[in-house]
Amino acid sequence: MKNEQWHSSFIVHPSSFPMRRPAGVTLLSAMVFVLSLLQLTRAVTLALRRPVLTGLGVSIPLTYAVVSAAVWGAALLAACLGLWRMARWGRWLALAGVTGSQAQMWLDRALFARSDYSRLSTGFALGATIAVLAVTWGLLWWPSVRKRF
């Protein structure tokens, strides 16, 4: 009997830890975190490989590419944290950050892309952009999610 009481005190009931945010917002926060990591990794990679890339004569100004990737990475990381905490500003920063980073990607593609691969991958890139924007905007404007912010 005494042994049964000891074990029952360590049981965690599912209702003991209610989720503070909808599951969709948790997944969106994870997606925005991944987008942030991709941008930050891009910034670090471009900065570290600057001498090699300069010698290759890439079409995009490297300082611009490093700074823009770092800024978007930081903004998306802040948005991820805001979504995780269900902060009102996190919702707006996620909408602006995801949309802005995708728009800049397309602007960079239009201004600086010269390779055949860039033209070949346009369809995939467009599909990925549409999916990311649809998930972000669709979820954050969903009525039951929107009223929780």
| pLDDT tens sequence across 65-124 | 999 999 999 999 999 999 999 999 999 999 999 999 999 999 999 998 877 888 889 999
The predicted structure's pLDDT at residue 141: 95
Band (pLDDT 50/70/90 cuts) for residue 21 is: confident
Structure tokens at 1: 């009997």
Residue 119 has a pLDDT of 84
pLDDT (mean) for 139-145: 93
Confidence of residue 58 (pLDDT cuts 50, 70, 90): confident
Give the C-alpha separation, 103 to 79, whole Å: 17
> At 117, which helix (H) or strand (E)?
helix 116-120
Q: CB burial class (10 A; 0-12, 13-18, 19+) of residue 43?
A: buried
Tokens of 47: 């900065």
